[in-house]
Each structure stands twice: as C-alpha cells, then as structure tokens.
Amino acid sequence: MKLGFGKIRDALKGGAEKNTGEEKKERKEEELEPDRVEEVTMKTKTSEQKSEDASKTESKNEPENEPENEPMIPADRTGARKTGLIFFPAFDWAISPTHPEREERLLYTRDQIFEEGLMDLPQIAEYKPRLADFRDIARVHFCIPDIEAQATIPHRISAGSCLVLADALMRGEVKNAFALVRPPGHHAMTVAHGNRGFCNINNEAILVEYLRKKYGIRRIAIVDTDVHHGDGTQEIFYNDPDVLFISFHQDGRTLFPGSGFVNELGGPKALGRTINIPLPPGTPDEGILYVLDTLVLPILKDFKPELVLNSAGQDNHYTDPLANMRFSAQGYAKLNEKLAPDMAVLEGGYAIQSALPYVNTGIILAMAGLDYSCVKEPDFRPGMFVQAARDRHVLEEIVATQLENWKNRDRLVEAEVAKHGDFYRRKKQIFYDTDMIQEFQEETVRMCPDCQGYVTIDSNAHRSINDTRIFGVSVPIYACASCQAEAREEYRKRLNYPEYEYVYLQDKKADEYRAYNTRKKQETVY
Amino acid sequence: MLIGIDVGGTTTDAVLIRNGEVYSTTKVSTERGNLLKSLLNALDEVSRGVPPGQLERVVFSTTIITNLIAEGKTDRVALLLIPGPGVNPESYVFPDSFYLKGAMDFRGREIQLLDEAEVRETVSRIREQGFSRAAVVSKFGQRNPSHELRIEEILREMYPDCKVELGHKVSGKLNFPRRIATSMLASATGERYQEFVAEIKKALEERDIRAPVYILKADGGTLPIEKSVAFPVETIFSGPAASTIGALALTPEGQTSVVVDIGGTTTDLALILSGKPLMASKGAKLGNFLTHVRAFAVRSMAVGGDSIVRVRETGDGVRIVTIGPERAGPAYCMGGEEPTPTDALRVLGLVEVGDLERAKEAVASVASSLGRSETEVASLIVDTTAGIIEKAVREMFLEWEQEPAYRIWEVLQKKKERPENVVGIGGGARGLISVVAKKLNAKPIIPEYSEVGNAIGAAVARPTLTLNLRIDTQQKVYSVAEEGEIVNLNSTDIGNFNKMRSKEAEALAAKLLRERAKRFGISEYADEAEIANSEVFNVVDGWLTAGRLFDVSMQIPAGLIPEWKRREKA
C-alpha cells in the first residue's frame, strides 16, 4: 500500500500534507482493532487462475433448490458486427432548471448524431430503454429510506438502459455497446442517502452486478474516464478482487470529489485492484493517451477481464465548464478505439454545445469501427494544446508507481492481510454536495480465508435538522457459505438495535434483498 | 362522385363512389412502361356513362417514381454538399458528389465560412461535366440555409440553365444523408414527374374533367396534383398506402387491425392501431437510399399464393415443407407447373379458383415425398404459409413496441396492442386470411370490394399535412422545417420572447399550419390538425437562462374524407 507513496507525494505538490493526515487517521482506526493474527492462506492467485471456468464452477456452487439462479451462458460474440446504442437524453428530467444536469444537456448531441444519420448506419443497432427492477438496484445499494426515494423513474431508466445493452451484448447481438444516457451514476456509493455529484444510483455498479448474477461473469474491469474521480464505483468495489477499477481524473486537490489519489489502492484483499491516476489540470490528449498506453492497457492485458466497461464521462474536454482539462473529441474517439470497451456508459460532461455533440459522435464512430477523422470541434486546431514538460514528468512518475503497485499487488495483499485479524475496519466521511448531507460511516470487512468476505456498513447521515442511522450487511456474490450465514445472522441481530432506523440485507449470493424499518417494524423484500 | 385509381404493378384498379358508397369498380392490366395509358383506361372504364361535370374529386396513386428509379430513368444530378465536421463524407455512397468548405452547427451558427472561389470553380466543373441539375445540401442547412442560398445565387449567376434543388426546402428534418438522398431523388425525378403530371392534366382536360385532382402520398394523404410537382418523391409507395386507407375505410372505426394484402409473389402488411394507420418511425427506403419521406409502416415479404412449395431435408434428416421465396408462375391448378399454396387452399376448399383435380395432383406430389396424406399435407402447406405471415405480423408489433424512446413518458407508455382483426385486401389467396386470423386469435375480415380496397383507399383518403416549428428565442428566430425559411420573431405578435411558453409556441404553430393548409387548398381540414409533439428546452448560458428552444410538430393525420359512409360489412 505504501509502495511509491512518498515519491508521489513529492510529485504532487501542495495538499499532500492534508493527505497524509487523513491517511494517518484512517490507519489509526485500523490500529485500534485488536490484532488477532490467524493463519491466512492467500487466495488471490488461485482465484484468478480459476476464473476462466469460474462461471461453471459458480453455477455448481449455487444451492440446488434455487435453479432460477443458474447463470445464463453468454453467447459467442465473435460474429457480432454491430454496436448497440441506447440514446436516452431524458428530455423531460432535470435536477433543477439551470442545473448542469438539465433537459438541455443532450439536446445538441441529439441534433448532431441524428443529423449525422448515425442511427441509420448498418453498424449501429438502436435499442429501447427499460426500467431497472428494484432488485437490480438493491443488488448494489442500501437506499434510504427506500429505493423509490433514491431511484426515481429517470434513474431507473438510465440504469435499465445499461441492462438492456448488457443483455444484447450477452446474447451476442452486438459486439459492443454504448449507453448514452442520463442521469449519471459514478459518484453514487453503496449507501445512498441522497444525490452526490449529480448521481443517486450507480449505473456501472448495477450493470456489473447484473452481469455477474445473470451471466456468471466473474472478472470485470471498469475504466473511469470521467474528469471527476469515480469515487462511488471505487467505493462499491473497493474490497472486490474480481473487479478492477481504474480511474483517471483531474487531481482531487483541484476538483470534486477530492479523492482518487495514488494511495487508494483497494481494501486489504483487493489491493492493486483499484488504480487511481490523478492528472494535473490542463492535461491534453497527449497525456491521457500516454497514461492509457503505458499504464491502463498493460494492466488490462495482465488482468485479462472478461469484460471492459468504460465509465465514459466527457468532462475532460477543453471547454468543460466544471473542470480544467484539455481533452478533445479526437482524443476521446482515439481513447475508445484503443481501450475498445465492451460497454461504455455516459457519465458527466457539461460543455453541452461546444463538446458533447462532437465527443459523442466521435465515441460512437470509434466504437462502431468507423472513420472518425473528420469529427472535430469548431474551434479545435491540431496542436493547440501541448503537454507541459513538468506535467509529463508527473505522469511518468504516476505510471511508474502504479505499474509497480500492480506488479506487487499479491505481495501487497499478503502483507496487508497479515496486519488484520478477523475484521478490517475503516471509517469514512462522505459529503453529498447536491443534497448537503454529511455521512459518517464505518465499514467492516470480514477477513475470510475462503472468500472476499462479507461487508457491514454502519452509516449515520447528518442533515441540517435530523440524523438517520442505518446498518447494512452485504454478502458478495461469490461469498463462501459461512460468510453468508454469518452475515445473515448479523442482519437478524441488528433488527432489534434501536439506534438504527433501517437495517438492510444484501445477499448477492442468494439474490435476496431485504430492508427493515425498525420504527414501523416492517420488512420489505425486493 | 368520387374516383379513386391505384396503378399497381400488375393491375390498375379503379372505383367510382356515389353518395358515399361504391357505385362501380374496374380492373385493367397495367401496361408497364405506359402508366398513363393504364391509368386513363381505368378512368375511362370506371366513369363510363357518367357526365364529367358530376365528378367532384379524382385521386390517383401511382408507382411512377418507383418505376423511374427502378428502371434508372432518372436524370444525373450534381450533388453540392457541405458536410462540415462529423462523419467522413468519403463514407457516403452518393454518386456525383462535390464537397465544399463551410459549416453550420446545430443551432444554425456559422462555424466555417463558405469558400466562394471554391464554389465558383465547382460550378464551372459541373457545367463542363454536363450536369443540368444540381442539389445543394448542407449539414444543418435546415437550421441556417444561408450557405445553400448563396450557392444557389452563384449557380443562377454562372449557370442559369441548371435546375437547382435545395436541401432545406426538401426536408427540414434532422438527418443529413437522408436529406441528400431525398434532394437527389427529387431532383433526378422532378422533370419526368412534371411531364407525367402535365400529360394527366391534358388528358383530363380532353375528357372535360374539371374536378380537383389529387395524388396519394406514402403517408396516406392526398396532395393536389399541381402541388405535387414540388414533392415528387412523396408519391412513392402510395400503393400500400392506398390499401391501408382502404382497409381503414372498410373496417369498424377505432379498432386495431392488421392489413394483409396477399399477392402472387409477395404479401404486404400494414397496421391500423385503434383506428389509426401506423406510420414508420423513420422515412421510407427507396432503392438503396434512405429518405425523409413519411410513410406508413409496411412490411413486404416474399411469400404469396403462387410461391413454390418444396420439400427440403434438414440437417438431421427431417423433411419439411418450405414456401417461396421464388414464384412458380400461376398455381398448378391454374395451369402452372409447380405446387403452390393456392393449390393447397383449393384442395381444402378454402378457395374456388382453378381446377380441383390439378390442385390435388400438385398436393399429392408433395404428399408422396413426405409420406403423408393429401389433406394432411394441404393443411400443412396452408399452415406453414400462414405461419410465415403470422410471424411477420408479430415482428411488426414487436418492432413498434421496441421503437427507441427519448423521453420518460415514452418509456413508461405501455405499448401493448394486439390485432382484433385480420383484414384481407386485394383479393389474393383469400382462404389464408382466416388461417392467419386464427393463429393471431383475431377476427378475419374480408370486406365487400376488398379486391379494389386500394382504389377505395385512394378515393376516400383525405389530405395530410405536417408542420414542424422550431423557435430559438435566444437568436430570436423561428423556422418551419417544411418551408425552409428563417423568420425573425419580431414579425410575430409575441411580446416578450424570453417569457414565451409552450402555449404561445403551439398557437404560433397552429396559425402557421392554417396558413400552410390554405396554400395547399385544404383549409377545410385545418381543424383536424393535432399536436404530435411539443417540447421546450431552456438554453442556459453559464448559470442563467439565456433563451428557450421550442419544437412543435403538428399534423393533419391520415384519415377519411367525411363523404365516405363507413361500412361495417364483413
């Protein structure tokens, strides 16, 4: 976890001290835990080697009395020629009339892609959105007070669109897919008290859990190319060694949400499966493509995911009003061509006239394997942005450090796991910028020798007048039977704790989701 | 009295309607290569003995444009295209294209200047290369046509004999490649179509017919023939449109029906949902080109009464019956050489045409290679044929349900309708209709006069009209896509543009539609206009609302003229 840490701290001047402080505080919490060292066999390697026939093995492990849980076998996609597309601009939804997340956001994108006739291309297959089911959302989130409150209709359509495309992909109808949808989702974390960074529920996470449950996919890589750190997605998969999360974004010291530093590498059993690349403000195409070529692509090649998802924000653009990067439409198209994601899901991007129409045209053409050389912004001139030498040096350092961390990930895991006993705990403070909520959280991960371990979250949301405290238990889809049993017992126990207003059970292994209102003594089963 | 004439590929059908009821019908064979003669033959025959003064209205549907394009009898058109940034124009498949610099963006703002020297040089080249027609189309030209208009000026000045078509006048809809194709086809067929119209008018004058004459469009609406010369391409596929309107006229009001027109080689399907013919969500495809032409959602498949019936062995040795796609000539029972679905229908007594013994012979040949009885196999053939049609109907409904949706209400809208009726139009292979209907759990309807349902459709179709209004209050302009003019909002009586609401935008659209209807001579239908879509977007600059964009679509939808007395005979 600390490899290369000092080097980076030097490279990223200013704000580093604050960082260190946080880091210390976090570690102190961990030290408070009595260390109960047990004989722990490292499983990471083994589970990786197993992964090729993981789906088969897993389906055999399913309880026999639940045949409906048998994952479907994904169809062979080698013959698919089309790019699946859902364009859902939600022309009748806004956070507020002048908010960046408003009706108008994809209007000009609509104009451009329709005027270009992209929907007529034989390489494009357009699909109709649907609503995500409550279960699809419950598989990822603890929604407070309930799913309807956090996932309104447009959120469910946005997430549902991803699932429609996932089905098309898994049925082999399309070679890849792009969900050009809003509202976005990558800032939404497991616990959803409200809207953070324009997001309530996490589209990518819902997509990942759906793909795992329905199709038995095990190894998935998410590359978050939004200018903001994908902190929601990171948090959801932080302890999951099967999901590789890579995010590059404008340095968190200069932009919301203020996280995504090199030292955030994953929970003890998933170290190195979270890779953050904070970019200096003003980084142009050159810098991002450098990071892609020298860091992202080599790691992906090594990780060998079954699917690669692009959490495709478009706010790295040089005209974006909320950030300070210098990425172009050509850069975005090239990035998607090189990354070749199986699926891309739109995230942010608020230069709705000067960037989005061109960036989206570029991405669609690139994903469909078509010529995007003529896609450019009206004011773009090749060579107008040059990477500063100092920034190049910063990027080289980050790449070197993260490659080192990646290479040593199994050793890192081993060393970190040895430090903890049966449980790993961390305390977090989460700020909901849109809804002005301050959340205090304690996350506990069972350090299970046989699986990634179940997770419990004790969360207290502080609003201006009232606080809400909840307790959530999450059983990973590939959890062992004893973790599952232990976790379910934790849920049952907490039902009688008066300090919690709501208690949640998220048993992904059994695909069973429960929410208990302790005041009304009512349990909802999704 | 009303006359409707449908010039089809094989026959030209005509009806005369008096007091809202069918008075006489006729069918003459279509002389390929001389549509006008076929049309006039049918006209003369159906109106025999009727004083021309008593005719109130004459409507044609014709395949002329389709034929011209299929036969390559079109004029060469130089395409002067201003693609701007986006898709590489090299990937377009249009012939004779000349690409020019210049660009507009989605708001109609000029983002690259026109290079006049380049335009002049290109005009010289097209003249040298012998083009006498040009279509000028710019990307987002409908949002700002100034580049197209400037090129037109240069063409007029340098090459006044060249006939010019401008993209923004042909269609105001988004989709540059479709606008290129539609403009190109309009230009390429315009002259011959104009000749055709002139000949019709001359022939009618000779017959002393002074009733207004209309032509049927692909969207099932009529258009005064004089106006149609400006929109020749809109008359494509008026045949299927005529059949659909015919089915609408001959079935109970407000119901959901699938219209099945079974011919010798092909079967055409159309849908009527709760009494409204279903429009295709996108423009029609003509030859290899996708166009902006509004058309009914129709589906044509290569199976009909005269399709060849074969026995095929599948991979695992099972013998199955296949129908089509080739045609056998006439059915065996009608003197043909191969077994057909018509023979099977004859054996089962579902049709009365042809020789029963020969029909049995045909079915027996299939039965022997399957080792089953004649009746069994006849049923199997009919069932297989009906199954192909049934599958296509289900796919059409599914496609309609799965049409992309861009708004929340569109996603939530429950699109679940199933046909109540299967309506047979055209008179071919009638026996199949009941089998298809049974498979779809619907009621079979073969209306009286169904064999000339297409001509009835032409006779009783009413005019359609669309109007797409776009208002940009930030730029203080509005434009009507169909008219291609950018008008300053100051010319309207709207006071404060920034406080403008949807209601005012819709009122402006309604006013413009009334004016447009008047120009088309169809004012009496202006009240039938409905708002198909109305939306408003706040344009936010920084964190302030800088203006509003309104899009209002109005239409006079396809329907029946009030003179027609709907009959509910089955």
How many angstroms away from the CA of A112 is the closest CA of chain B? 6
User: What is the rounded (10 degree) CA torsion for A218, A221, A226, A229?
Assistant: 80
How many angstroms away from the CA of B412 is the closest CA of chain A? 8
Q: Is A97 near chain B, with CB under 8 Å? A: yes
Token code pair at residue A318? 């040089």
The structural domains of chain B, with segments of one domain joined by +, span 237-461, 465-556
Residue A309 Cα distances to A71, A225, B206, angstroms: 20, 10, 71
Q: What is the pLDDT of residue B325?
A: 84
Q: Is A112 near chain B, with CB under 8 Å? A: yes
Token code pair at residue B23? 């008075």
Q: What is the pLDDT of residue B410?
A: 86
Asked if residues A204 and A309 have their Cβ atoms less than 8 Å apart, the reply is: yes
**Which residue of B139, B403, B545 is in closest CB contact with A115?**
B139
Q: What is the pLDDT of residue B567?
A: 55
Say yes or no to pLDDT of A483 above 70.
Answer: yes
Q: Is the peptide bond before B404 cis (omega within 30 degrees of 0)?
A: no
CA distance B258 to B389: 11
**Which residue of A108, A130, A374 is in closest CB contact with B86?**
A374
Q: What is the pLDDT of residue A525?
A: 95
Instruction: Please state the rounded mean pLDDT for residues B223-232.
Output: 91
Asked if residues A110 and A174 have their Cβ atoms less than 8 Å apart, the reply is: no
Q: What is the pLDDT of residue B329?
A: 78
Q: Is A126 near chain B, with CB under 8 Å? A: yes
Q: Is B288 near chain A, with CB under 8 Å? A: no
Under an 8 A CB cutoff, do A103 and B112 touch?
no
Say yes or no to pLDDT of A407 above 80.
Answer: yes
pLDDT grade for A360, boundaries at 50, 70 and 90: very high
Lowest mean pLDDT of B31-45, B178-192, B235-249, B405-419, name the range. Answer: B405-419
pLDDT grade for A31, boundaries at 50, 70 and 90: very low
**Nearest-by-CA chain A residue for B284:** A120
Q: Residues of chain B with pLDDT > 90: what percent?
A: 72
More confident residue, A239 or B369: A239
Say yes or no to pLDDT of B415 above 80.
Answer: no
Q: At what angle do helices A356-367 and A107-115 cross, to 10 degrees?
A: 50
E strands in A375-526: 423-432, 437-446, 455-462, 467-475, 502-507, 512-517, 522-525
**Which residue of B112, B178, B409 is in closest CB contact with A117?**
B178
Token code pair at residue A175? 């070679």
Q: What is the pLDDT of residue A296?
A: 98
pLDDT grade for A69, boundaries at 50, 70 and 90: low
Under an 8 A CB cutoff, do B87 and A361 touch?
yes
Q: Is A90 near chain B, with CB under 8 Å? A: yes
Asked if residues A130 and B411 have their Cβ atoms less than 8 Å apart, the reply is: yes
Supply the pTM of this predicted model. 0.89
Q: What is the pLDDT of residue A46?
A: 33
Say yes or no to pLDDT of B542 above 50.
Answer: yes
Instruction: Please state the rounded mean pLDDT for residues A229-237.
Output: 97
More confident residue, B240 or A456: A456
**First and final C-alpha spacing in chain A:** 38
Tell me which chain A residues have a C-beta less than 8 angstroms from the C-beta of B107: 108, 353
Instruction: Please state the rounded mean pLDDT for residues A327-331.
Output: 97
Helix (H, G, I), strand (E, B) or coil at A386: coil
Helix (H, G, I), strand (E, B) or coil at A390: helix
Instruction: Please state the rounded mean pLDDT for residues A490-501.
Output: 95
Tell me which chain A residues have a C-beta less than 8 angstroms from the C-beta of B403: 128
**Nearest-by-CA chain A residue for B540:** A98
Quote the CATH superfamily of domain A80-375+382-410.
Answer: Histone deacetylase domain (3.40.800.20)
pLDDT grade for A55, boundaries at 50, 70 and 90: very low
**Which residue of A97, A115, A130 is in closest CB contact with B538?**
A97
Instruction: Please state the rounded mean pLDDT for residues A153-181.
Output: 97
The structural domains of chain A, with segments of one domain joined by +, span 80-375+382-410
Under an 8 A CB cutoff, do A129 and B174 touch?
no
pLDDT grade for B64, boundaries at 50, 70 and 90: confident
* ipTM of this complex prediction, to 2 decimal places: 0.91
Token code pair at residue B471? 């208002």
More confident residue, B253 or A209: A209
Please say if A187 is a catalytic residue: yes
Residue B177 Cα distances to A294, A316, B483, angstroms: 39, 30, 19
Q: How many CB pairs under 8 A join A and B?
A: 128
Instruction: Please state the rounded mean pLDDT for residues A314-318.
Output: 96
Under an 8 A CB cutoff, do B174 and A111 touch?
yes
Task: Name the burial class of residue A143, with classes exposed (0-12), middle (13-18) and buried (19+) by CB atoms within 10 angstroms of its CB.
Answer: buried
Say yes or no to pLDDT of B205 above 90.
Answer: yes
CA distance B244 to B238: 10
Q: What is the pLDDT of residue A68?
A: 53
Average confidence score pLDDT of chain A? 88
Instruction: Please state the rounded mean pLDDT for residues A372-396.
Output: 95
More confident residue, A57 or B26: B26
pLDDT tens per residue, range A283-301: 999 999 999 999 999 999 9
Instruction: Please state the rounded mean pLDDT for residues B338-346.
Output: 93
Q: What is the pLDDT of residue B408?
A: 87
CA distance A155 to A148: 10
Chain A residues 303-322 with CB within 8 Å of chain B: 321
Q: What is the pLDDT of residue B566?
A: 62
Asked if residues B243 and B253 have their Cβ atoms less than 8 Å apart, the reply is: no
pLDDT tens per residue, range B445-472: 999 999 999 999 999 999 999 999 999 9
CATH number, domain B237-461: 3.30.420.40
Q: Is A64 near chain B, with CB under 8 Å? A: no
Q: What is the pLDDT of residue A57?
A: 37
Cα angle for residues B195, B198, B203 (degrees, 5° grid): 125
Q: What is the pLDDT of residue A16?
A: 36
Tell me which chain B residues have a C-beta less than 8 angstroms from the C-beta of A129: 405, 411
Tokens 């001359």 found at: B202
Q: Is A157 near chain B, with CB under 8 Å? A: yes
Q: Of these residues, A155, A186, A187, A229, which one is catalytic?
A: A187
Count other C-beta atoms under 10 Å from residue B527's C-beta.
10
**Which residue of B86, B404, B407 is in closest CB contact with A126?**
B404
Asked if residues B409 and B534 have their Cβ atoms less than 8 Å apart, the reply is: no
- In our burial notation (b when 16+ CB lie closer than 10 A, e otherwise), range A399-436 reads bebbbebbebbeebbbebbebbeeebbbebebebebee
Q: Nearest-CA neighbor of B322 among B299, B338, B300, B336?
A: B338
Q: Which residues are CB-neighbours of B172 under 8 A, at least 6 positions away?
A: B142, B468, B479, B480, B481, B482, B483, B484
Instruction: Please state the rounded mean pLDDT for residues B462-486.
Output: 90
Under an 8 A CB cutoff, do A98 and B411 touch?
no
Q: What is the pLDDT of residue B361?
A: 94
- Could you write out the DSSP letters of every residue in A111-123? HHHHHTTGGGSTT
Asked if residues A212 and A218 have their Cβ atoms less than 8 Å apart, the reply is: yes
Q: Residues of chain B with pLDDT > 70: what percent?
A: 99
Say yes or no to pLDDT of B161 above 70.
Answer: yes
User: What is the rounded (10 degree) CA torsion for A197, A202, A203, A207?
Assistant: 160
Say yes or no to pLDDT of A44 above 70.
Answer: no
Chain B residues 190-219 with CB within 8 Å of chain A: none
Instruction: Please state the rounded mean pLDDT for residues B364-381.
Output: 92
Tell me which chain A residues have a C-beta less than 8 angstroms from the C-beta of B91: 370-371
Q: Which residues are CB-neighbours of B310 under 8 A, at least 6 positions away?
A: B321, B322
